[in-house]
Structure 1
Amino acid sequence: MNSITSATKYNNGQKNQVYQAHTYLSGGFIMRTLLLTGFEPFGGEKTNPSLEAVKQLDGLTFGDIAVKAIELPVSWDRVIPLIHSAIATHTPDFIISVGQAGGRAKIAVERIGINICYGQDNYDVTQNGEPIVPSGPDGYFSSLPVVSLAAAISAAGVPAYVSNTAGTYLCNYALYTLEHHIRTHNLPIQSCFIHIPFLPEQTTDKPNQLLPSMSLDSIVSALRAAIQAMAVPTAETAQVDATVAGAVTH
């Protein structure tokens, strides 16, 4: 392995843009679907803010984007089959996976997933640094424009940055395997992974660690801002051509 795979061809040859090709029906856009995923609690925690946040956005629409949220298990064996099933069921145009990263103080939009898995899951299955895909590239860059998504979140008043490491646990696993599935099956889907901090209540039983946290309202606002940056407002439908190039840059 000595390769990193970019997402250029999955952005219609324009790696600096969210792909926004639309078809009109009766004067309006066909709605696009965003699959939003959050993980169950893990590591002894009673809650996972990623799951709580995506639940609040399930069923909402942002311009021409309709949101479908699902829960993912913290399981090496189960998480990817579940994502693949959700792709087959909902045929999303975008996928944003969200995960908890205790210790981080800001929203982290992940740039890359690497081909390594490490750690014990909720079901006592352990990975010891093996490649996720033995014949796969060293890494996959996120196919959504991470720089602009982080900028949109920051502009909404929630601290955010582009992260260059998603770790080696299930969050990185989800990012890498999802991008691998998209590329190898030539699917017209763009995706990324967003890490979020602990909730304040998750830090109260760890007083000696001085861990940062973020309110659930702020986390939800961050995700809203990211989605809105990807969407075409339906109020502008009449002024936009049938094929629209997004203005969000990487």
Structure 2
Amino acid sequence: MKILLTGFEPFGNEQQNPSEQLAKLLNGARDGDAEIVSAILPVERYAALEKLDELMQQQAPDMVVALGVAVGRAAITPEKVAINFDDFRIPDNAGHQPVGETIFPDGPTAYFSTLPINLMVKEMETQVPSAISFSAGTFVCNHLMYGVLHLCACNYPKTRAGFVHVPQATECLSPTSGEVPHLPLSQMAEALRRAIWRAASHKADDIKLNAGDTH
């Protein structure tokens, strides 16, 4: 079983992105016949999804777990839903700043994660604070989550996918960071590793299509 794990490059005024570092830390991890293959995506409205689509064609993953940072959150938060809506409060790294635009005009209003996020949260709670989030925002993170689920629905029906937001990492704090919640990279990496193996071992038939798990 192959799990494609993605992180994002730094964006805005940040010099580091913990999602990038976590993806790199977990690259090549194995559990039985399951293996994580990691990649780093640009924080760009169009290029992020284009690169992810290319990776899915090349790697043919059974599962895609996309990571992003949510500065201000104190827990690792798998996202339940992505909406067909782009409204960027700041420009992305390519200068795009859409306001109130759809991601795919012919797509549904929303997609639900097809990962067993309830089980993933239960697994991570033994290591770090974790909870389900019901808003992936309206920036590139939401765009990517909606986009990968749209790709799966249209082109890769057997691939499960979802998005996980992580807090700021302790190692990424700077003098200008202020007082924001943070967790050590090592703890987050271990929690994510366990959650990914738990998700990988969960039968896809037990997850309602486009509705996440119900356990």
TM-score normalised by structure 1 residue count: 0.78
Cα RMSD, aligned residues only = 2.0
Q: Which amino acid aligns with 1:158?
A: V
Q: Deviations over 1:73-124 (max 9, x none)?
A: 0011211110110001000000000001100000001000011112210111
Distance in 2 separating the partners of 1:71 and 1:102: 19
Q: Which runs of 5+ in 2 are unaligned?
A: 208-212
Distance in 1 separating the partners of 2:123 and 2:55: 27
Aligned to 1:41: 10
Aligned to 1:198: 168
Query: Shift of the alpha carbon at 1:44?
Result: 1.2
1:133 aligns to 2:104 (yes or no): yes
Q: Deviations over 1:149-194 (max 9, x none)?
A: 1111112x21100000000011111100100111122521001100
Q: Deviations over 1:26-50 (max 9, x none)?
A: xxxxxx1000000000111111000
Aligned to 1:10: none
Q: Percent identity?
A: 33
Aligned to 1:22: none
| Structure 1 residues 231 and 136: CA distance shift in structure 2, 3 A | closer
How do residues 158-237 of structure 1 correspond to structure 2 at under 5 angstroms?
158-206=128-176, 209-232=178-201
Aligned to 1:123: 94
Q: Which amino acid aligns with 2:102?
A: P
Distance in 2 separating the partners of 1:54 and 1:147: 21
Q: What secondary structure does 1:129 align onto?
A: coil
Aligned to 2:48: 79
* Greater strand fraction, Structure 1 or Structure 2: 1
Distance in 1 separating the partners of 2:194 and 2:171: 24
| Structure 1 residues 225 and 135: CA distance shift in structure 2, 3 A | same
Q: Which amino acid aligns with 2:101?
A: E
| Structure 1 residues 221 and 181: CA distance shift in structure 2, 3 A | same
- The structure 1 residue matched to 2:25, chosen from 38, 47, 56, is 56
Q: Which runs of 5+ in 1 are unaligned?
A: 1-31, 233-242
The answer to whether the Cα contact below 8 Å between 1:34 and 1:65 also exists between their aligned partners in 2 is yes
Q: What secondary structure does 1:228 align onto?
A: helix
Aligned to 1:110: 79
TM-score normalised by structure 2 residue count: 0.90
| Structure 1 residues 110 and 244: CA distance shift in structure 2, 3 A | closer
Query: Shift of the alpha carbon at 1:245?
Result: 6.8
Q: How many residues align?
A: 207
Distance in 1 separating the partners of 2:168 and 2:135: 18
Q: Deviations over 1:211-231 (max 9, x none)?
A: 111111111012111112124
Distance in 1 separating the partners of 2:186 and 2:129: 13
